[in-house]
């Protein structure tokens, strides 16, 4: 489950119940007004619908990360003018440690990546985000609120956990129900925005 081959197999077998086949309304609304020069990352992007939408809106510095080779291949076939080197195909956690990625991003967009990683990696997730965001940069998106289970992915979580997770070195700016959640997730997720504190 915590391997590129597990996820790749899910794509190859069309076991992709999370896939919206289009951009996530809450994420697209969240970046409204962001300068087109902003550096934006979508980790665990899967087929990359949100990345495609941002790229087509003129966000030249949108970066994607997913270690399932079929997800990247499908994305680059669909969006042939997207720079392949802006789609990292390795383990996100290793990629986040690379020198060139430190303090690089204005915004990281979260959607069904946090719930996909093993819960014991959640501290690593928060640490990686703190490494790759610029001081004052924001981690934002949607997080599931169904109870944490060992039967994932998806693994659940709670508002209480997210408050803890995205406190120091972040300041949680908002967390609550999102009017833009897709109907099947309406009562199962919250929209949040956490700002990386300046040093």
Ligand X SMILES: C[S@@+](CC[C@H](N)C(=O)[O-])C[C@H]1O[C@@H](n2cnc3c(N)ncnc32)[C@H](O)[C@@H]1O
CB under 8 A, 24+ apart: contacts of 86-93 = 86/61, 86/62, 87/45, 87/48, 87/51, 87/63, 88/63, 88/64, 89/65, 90/65, 91/4, 91/67, 92/43, 92/44, 92/65, 92/67, 92/128, 93/121, 93/124, 93/125, 93/128
Least distance (Å) between residue 164 CB and ligand X: 22
User: In the complex with ligand X, which residue's Cβ is closer, 45 or 168?
Assistant: 45
User: Which one of residues 52, 54, 112, 194 is an interface residue with ligand X (CB under 6 A)?
Assistant: 112
Least distance (Å) between residue 91 CB and ligand X: 5
User: Which one of residues 53, 79, 116, 127 is an interface residue with ligand X (CB under 6 A)?
Assistant: 116
**Residues 124-163 interacting with ligand X (rule: CB under 6 A):** none
Least distance (Å) between residue 99 CB and ligand X: 19
Site stretch for ligand X (CB under 6 A), options 51-59, 85-93, 132-140, 180-188: 85-93
User: Which one of residues 62, 96, 117, 143 is an interface residue with ligand X (CB under 6 A)?
Assistant: 117
Site stretch for ligand X (CB under 6 A), options 52-60, 105-113, 124-132, 160-168: 105-113
Which DSSP string corresponds to 51-69? HHHHHHTT-TTEEEE---H
Give 132: exposed, middle or buried? Use CB within 10 Å, 0-12, 13-18, 19+.
buried
Least distance (Å) between residue 45 CB and ligand X: 5
């Amino acid at each position: 489950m915590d391997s590129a081959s597990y996820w790749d197999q899910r794509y190859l077998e069309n076991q992709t119940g999370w896939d919206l086949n289009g951009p996530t309304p809450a994420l697209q609304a969240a970046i409204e007004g962001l300068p087109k020069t902003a550096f934006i990352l979508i980790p665990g992007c899967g087929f990359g619908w949100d990345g495609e939408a941002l790229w087509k809106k003129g966000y030249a510095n949108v970066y994607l990360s997913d270690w399932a080779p079929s997800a990247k291949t499908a994305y680059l076939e669909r969006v042939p003018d997207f720079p392949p080197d802006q789609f990292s195909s390795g383990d996100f956690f290793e990629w986040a440690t690379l020198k060139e990625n430190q303090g690089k991003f204005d915004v990281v967009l979260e959607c069904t990546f946090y719930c996909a990683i093993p819960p014991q990696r959640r501290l690593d997730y928060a640490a990686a985000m703190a490494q790759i965001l610029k001081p004052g940069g924001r981690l934002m998106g949607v997080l599931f609120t169904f109870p944490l289970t060992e039967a994932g992915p998806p693994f659940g979580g709670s508002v209480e956990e997210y408050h803890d997770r995205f406190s120091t070195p972040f300041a949680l700016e908002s967390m609550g129900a999102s009017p833009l959640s897709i109907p099947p997730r309406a009562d199962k997720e919250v929209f949040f925005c956490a700002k990386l504190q300046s040093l």
